[in-house]
């Protein structure tokens, strides 16, 4: 089983559920110093209870001031960050017949702007680690395979993840000269509390443990695009480069086959 090559100082958001929980358990077990962030303080404390290498940093990523305060606490207690894994997010599906901008804003708040707030807090700490250790730090964030191709009812969720992927891929170019690497994580369907609420088929759905293993392997290799399970995500990526008419035809088939469908994952 792949592990990160040396002990790291890592900040993980969305650490108490789904993929984030599986990542937290693996990283702590591997001996890394992990700052765990999520909204639920009780769950954070339970997760950290048996690990003296865990640092509990409760926050809601949509609260900009709380994220700034978390960055200050990380600086005081860790000095710097070798890696930031921004995993917090949510999923809601849009019914176009009852167009709801409030829903779109609720989804974008954690999935996009919350990630940006965390990036703003993390980047100075990643630069500190680079300057102190001379090793390239890594910024990573969880997007979604739905960012590759438009899917029914995924207007809010898919757009928030596509925005995040674009932002990170652009940021990667600007951070390269600073010696900071950027990985974008694009999961397919993963069995989590969020996907358990889905009311449509989820082909090739994998466990959170499988997802965490794929992410850690990709982070260790500094992959630009960490996507899994590959049998599924390669098909979705292929759909994304098809001509618009053909993409539309395939999307309409999903609607007809399932009554409705979507692309939520983590």
Q: What's the CA gap between 203 and 151, in Å, rounded?
A: 14
Q: What's the CA gap between 27 and 8, in Å, rounded?
A: 9
Residue of 168, 162, 167 whose CA lies nearest to 145: 162
Catalytic residue among 93, 117, 157, 166: 157
Residues 180, 71, 144, 27, CA torsion sign: positive
- Confirm whether 148 is a catalytic residue: no
Q: Are 216 and 4 in contact (CB under 8 A)?
A: yes
Q: Are 229 and 206 in contact (CB under 8 A)?
A: yes
Residue 206 DSSP code = B
- Residue 5, classed as helix, strand or coil, is coil
Q: Which residues are catalytic?
A: 157
């Amino acid at each position: 089983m792949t592990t990160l090559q040396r002990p790291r100082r890592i900040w993980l958001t969305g650490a108490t559920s789904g993929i984030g929980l599986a990542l937290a358990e693996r990283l702590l077990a591997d001996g890394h110093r992990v700052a765990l962030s999520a909204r639920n303080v009780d769950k954070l404390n339970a997760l950290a209870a048996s690990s003296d290498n865990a640092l509990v940093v409760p926050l809601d990523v949509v609260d900009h001031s709380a994220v700034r305060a978390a960055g200050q606490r990380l600086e005081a207690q860790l000095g710097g960050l070798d890696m930031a894994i921004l995993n917090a997010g949510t999923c809601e599906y849009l019914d176009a017949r009852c167009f709801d901008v409030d829903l779109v804003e609720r989804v974008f708040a954690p999935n996009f702007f919350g990630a940006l707030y965390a990036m703003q807090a993390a980047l100075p700490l990643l630069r500190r680690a680079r300057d102190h250790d001379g090793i390239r730090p890594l910024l990573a964030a969880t997007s979604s395979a739905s960012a590759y191709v438009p899917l029914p009812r995924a207007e809010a969720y898919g757009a928030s993840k596509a925005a995040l992927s674009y932002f990170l891929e652009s940021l990667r170019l600007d951070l390269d000269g600073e010696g900071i690497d950027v990985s974008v994580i694009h999961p397919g369907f993963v069995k989590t509390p969020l996907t358990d609420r889905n009311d449509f088929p989820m082909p090739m759905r994998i466990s959170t443990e499988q997802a965490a293993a794929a992410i850690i392997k990709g982070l260790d290799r500094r992959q630009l695009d960490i996507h899994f399970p590959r049998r599924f995500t390669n098909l979705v990526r292929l759909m994304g480069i098809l001509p618009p008419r053909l993409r539309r035809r395939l999307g309409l088939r999903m609607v007809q086959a399932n009554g409705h469908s979507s692309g939520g994952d983590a």
